[in-house]
Chains A and B, each alone.
Chain A
Amino acid sequence: MKAGRYEYRWADGTTMVSAPEYVELLMNWIETQIDNEHIFPKKTGEPFPPNFEDFVKRILRKLFRVYAHIYHSHFPKIVTLNEQAHLNTCFHRYLLFVSEFQLVDKEEMVPIQKLVETILKP
């Protein structure tokens, strides 16, 4: 899956897949993580795991790649579908959240750095 000059591969860079395949694999994986009660407990009083933050960071880092791909490869189509407000709202909230809690490194955001800086500019 590409985002401009950057290419993302599945399984930490070992498997080359198309964007739809990548997104499908990613969403399946994220759902597995969220449904895992050892990571995201549902019952009363069950504690979160000590490395909970690592799990969250990994999920959000990979989600960024989907946004990067959409903005780089599909934004004109998004505009044609009149869906840009929805996309921008979701990304805006995502970005504010990960920025507030420092969940994604800046290096990871380079593919759409100008957009990121525009949103985060005080």
Chain B
Amino acid sequence: MDTARAWLKKLKSKGKEKSSNKKETSRGNVKEGSKTAGGEEAVSNVTKQKAAAAKQYIENHYKKQVQSQQQRKERRDMLENKLAAAEVSEEEQKNLLKDLEKKETEYMRRQRHKMGTDDFEPLTMIGKGAFGEVRICREKTTGNVYAMKKLKKSEMLRRGQVEHVKAERNLLAEVDSNCIVKLYCSFQDEEYLYLIMEYLPGGDMMTLLMRKDTLTEDEARFYVGETVLAIESIHKHNYIHRDIKPDNLLLDRSGHMKLSDFGLCKPLDCSILQEKDFVVAHNLSGALQSDGRPVAPRRTRSQMEQLQNWQRNRRMLAYSTVGTPDYIAPEVLLKKGYGMECDWWSLGAIMYEMLVGFPPFYSDEPMTTCRKIVNWKNYLKFPDEVRLSPEAKDLICRLLCNVEQRIGTKGANEIKEHPWFSGVEWEKLYQMKAAFIPQVNDELDTQNFEKFEETDKQVPKTPKSGPWRKMLSSKDINFVGYTYKNVEIVNHDQLPGIAELKKKSTKPKRPSIKSLFEDESASSTTSHQGSFMKLLPTQIEVPEKEDKSSSSSETLSSSTTRFDNATS
């Protein structure tokens, strides 16, 4: 700002000089000045909007540039440190550094490529909702398969979802974790926003629960545990998911869980809730006064009846514009301030559903469900037929409670240390064999997703050039900064150096001759395996890829087991 002020002063003085030289010019300047001095009236709202959008665009642009520069420096520093520690010859050092420079240049060139729908071949639809759809697609250049989430801009604006959309994109771009579905890139055209994400062919937890009715405590422990790690992961980045539910817990091909937000539903509109909440409270109070004892809610259905009814309504609710309030914390519903602990409430509701068969505050009417959640003290009960361990009940009751008493409020470790998780090896959870391994036949298999009718399969080809420059139209002002590219989609497999360096940065190793040589030998082995794999049939190729990406012996064993199963 100091610089800006200095420049402003200089320009003003420049103006004065002009006025002293030419009278006619002076008059013009004075008039212009007076108009501007008139203030806000001279600047239209459209101009203000465009200016705000331009500012945001410029700030995003330079922020990205700084980040990229910093990352390049980190990669180079890492390589230099490694070389110094490994005592490689000076000539070899120069060669390796030049090679890195070459790769960085190539990487930057790829970054310039503007992603668009033309780069992807649309395949099967796997999700559909009020705002748009999710579809498998294949990148034409590499043949890689992704999930393309497509959101209609006009619907986002109409339903006030702009901040939600931005938050999702920001979270996925920022958090790089095993437990979170991976975002590869995002872009937009005039009509839609697009998110190109990792395709997880195992389906979602909602589908699994509908198949299984209930899980054993050991099975539930696995999924609840992975959900704990996922929630911990986003909380570390200061994100609150706020809408964790089985639909948003996706399963990869080996059955491990990743947190996402495939739910294409509007967050529940509870603007009427407080009034009705008051009415309910009054009724309860009245009942207490008249009878002299609290009125226990009548149990009209058995567990089995409730479970069946829940399953009938569940999928319909998931794709409606109302959404499923069953997992939302009371403080979120009441629209009081809420914090990260609201996600732990959702975890408790999901755990209850896994073990009991339906969520704890289930009702046919979403609004009734909301009232139950807000009055959870009166409605949180376990059906008599359900046999749960004391530890399981205790954990659920510590999650479904007031914020002040809720476990996890001081961090995920509070939950990890609970007796119900006794014996869980948290660091190995994602390397273990999953409780259930989904049936997945090939990389395009969608049997774990619901079928959707194709009203219009062809993705309309919108020219890439137009929207990029017309980003300042009033419609697109809300979506400035949406475009993003992940290191992996830009890098492909042809530049392994950059991807490897990035991976290493997340798991820093002590540099040594051995590690350097191991990296080299691993690299040569990888390339060999790669060439070998090209000779194999496609069906067998996928498990081998998993072998390549894995370093854990347990995972290798598990993968071998899966391969054998596939063969038989």
A-side residues, CB < 8 A to B, are: 27-28, 31, 35, 40-42, 44, 71, 75-77, 79-86, 88-90, 114-115, 118
Chosen A-B contacts, 15 in total, with CB atoms closer than 8 Å, are A31-B468, A35-B465, A44-B494, A76-B33, A77-B42, A77-B43, A79-B8, A84-B7, A85-B1, A85-B3, A88-B3, A89-B58, A114-B10, A114-B14, A115-B10
What is the CB-to-nearest-CB distance from A33 to chain B, in angstroms, rounded to a whole number? 12
A84 touching B32 in the complex, CB below 8 Å, given contacts A42-B113, A77-B42, A77-B43: no
B112 contacts the other chain (CB 8 A) = yes
Count residues of B near A (Cβ-Cβ below 8 Å): 31
Q: Is B106 an interface residue (CB 8 A)?
A: yes
**Whole-angstrom distance between the alpha carbons of A5 and B43 in the complex?**
26
Query: B55 touching A27 by the CB < 8 A rule?
Result: no
What mask results when residues 439 to 477 of chain B are scored 1 for a CB within 8 Å of chain A, else 0? 000000000000000000000000001001100000000
Query: How distant is the Cα of A80 from the Cα of B38 in the complex, in angstroms?
Result: 11
A90 and B58 contacting across the interface, CB-CB below 8 Å: yes
Residues of A within 8 A of B110 (CB): 42, 44
**B109 A42 Cβ-Cβ under 8 A:** yes
A42 CB contacts on chain B under 8 angstroms = 109-110, 112-113
Distance in Å from the Cβ of B139 to the closest Cβ of chain A? 15
A-B contact count (CB 8 A): 60
Distance to closest chain A CB from B32 (angstroms): 7
In the docked arrangement, what's the CA distance between A83 and B43, Å? Answer: 13
A89 CB to nearest chain B CB (Å): 7
Asked if B58 and A75 make an inter-chain contact with CB atoms under 8 angstroms apart, the answer reads: no
With contacts A40-B112, A81-B47, A86-B55 taken as known, whether A76 is within 8 angstroms of B36 at the C-beta atoms is yes
Chain A, residue nearest B109 (CB): A42
Seen from chain B, the residues whose Cβ lies within 8 Å of a Cβ on chain A are: 1, 3-4, 7-8, 10-11, 14, 32-33, 36, 39, 42-43, 47-48, 51, 54-55, 58-59, 62, 106, 109-110, 112-113, 465, 468-469, 494
Alpha-carbon distance between A82 and B47 when the two chains are bound, in angstroms? 12
Report whether B4 and A85 are in contact in the complex, using a CB–CB cutoff of 8 Å: yes
A85 surroundings in chain B (CB, below 8 A): 1, 3-4
Contact A80 B43 (CB under 8 A): yes
Chain B residue nearest in CB terms to A92: B3
> Quick check: B106 and A44 within 8 Å, CB to CB?
yes
Q: In the complex, are the beta carbons of A115 and B109 less than 8 A apart?
A: no
Inter-chain contacts of A81 with B (CB < 8 A):
43, 47-48, 51
Chain A residues near B109 (CB, 8 Å)?
41-42, 44
Most A-side CB within 10 Å, residue of B39, B43, B47, B55:
B55
> Complex: how many Å from CA A84 to CA B11?
12
Give the residues in chain B near A82, CB-CB below 8 Å: 51
CB proximity of A66 to chain B, nearest CB, Å: 13
Which chain B positions have C-beta within 8 A of A88? 3-4, 7
Q: How far is the CB of B528 from chain A (nearest CB, A)?
A: 22
- Whether the Cβ atoms of A75 and B3 lie closer than 8 Å is no
Given the known inter-chain contacts A88-B3, A114-B14, please indicate yes or no for A83 contacting B51, CB distance below 8 A. yes
Contacts of A115 in B (CB 8 A): 7, 10-11
Across-interface contacts of A71 in B (CB, < 8 A): 11
B278 to chain A, nearest CB (A): 45
Query: Distance in Å from the Cβ of B527 to the closest Cβ of chain A?
Result: 17
Give CA–CA (A70, B216) in the complex, Å.
69
A86 to B109, CA, bound (A): 26
Give chain A nearest CB distance to B168 CB in angstroms: 27
- Beyond the given A80-B36, A81-B43, A86-B54, please list 5 additional residue pairs across the A-B interface where CB-CB is below 8 A: A76-B32, A90-B58, A115-B7, A115-B11, A118-B7
CA distance A90 to B54 in the complex (A): 11
CB contacts (< 8 Å) of B14 on chain A: these are: 114
Tell me whether B469 and A31 are in contact (CB under 8 A). Answer: yes
Contact across chains for B465 and A31 when beta carbons are under 8 A apart: yes
Q: With the chains together, A69 CA to B494 CA distance in Å?
A: 45
Q: What is the distance, in angstroms, from B40's C-beta to the closest C-beta of chain A?
A: 8
| In the bound complex, CA of A79 to CA of B32 (Å) | 13
Chain B residue numbers with a CB within 8 Å of A28 are 469
The 4 closest A-B pairs by CB, nearest first: A81-B51, A76-B36, A85-B4, A86-B58
Expressed in whole angstroms, the Cα–Cα distance for A88 and B173 within the complex equals: 29
Enumerate chain A residues within 8 angstroms of B47, measured Cβ to Cβ: 81
Q: How far is the CA of A27 from the CA of B14 in the complex (A)?
A: 30
A95 CA / B538 CA spacing, docked (Å): 54
Q: Using CB atoms, name the residue of chain B closest to A85.
A: B4
Closest to B35 in A: A76
Residues of B close to A40: CB separation below 8 A:
112
Q: Could you tell me the distance between the alpha carbons of A40 and B465 in the complex, rounded to whole angstroms?
A: 15
What distance in Å separates the Cβ of B185 from its nearest Cβ neighbour in chain A? 15
CA distance A36 to B417 in the complex (A): 59
Partner of B8, one of A31, A84, A114, A118: A84
Q: Is the CB of B10 within 8 A of A118?
A: yes
Q: Which of A80, A83, A118 contacts B55 (CB 8 A)?
A: A83
Residues of the A chain whose Cβ atoms lie less than 8 Å from the Cβ of B48 = 81
Which residues of the other chain, A, contact B1 by a CB distance below 8 angstroms? 85
CB distance from A53 to the nearest CB of B (A): 17
- Report A34 CB to chain B, min CB distance, Å: 9
Q: How far is the CA of A31 from the CA of B468 in the complex (A)?
A: 10
Residues on the B chain within 8 Å of A44, using CB: 106, 109-110, 494
Residues of A near B59 (CB, < 8 A) are 86
Q: How far apart sit A115 and B42, CA to CA, in the bound complex (Å)?
A: 26
B11 touches A75 (CB 8 A): yes
Closest to A84 in B: B4
* A80: chain B residues within 8 A (beta carbon): 36, 39, 42-43
A86 CB to closest chain B CB (Å) equals 5
CB-nearest residue of chain B to A76: B36
* A77 to B62 alpha-carbon distance, docked (Å): 23
- Bound CA span A88–B62, Å: 13
User: In this complex, what residue of A is CB-closest to B55?
Assistant: A86
Residues of A within 8 Å of B10, CB to CB, are: 114-115, 118
Q: Could you tell me the distance between the alpha carbons of A90 and B62 in the complex, rounded to whole angstroms?
A: 9
Residues of A contacting B3 in the complex (Cβ-Cβ under 8 angstroms) = 85, 88
- Chain B's closest residue to A79 (CB) is B8
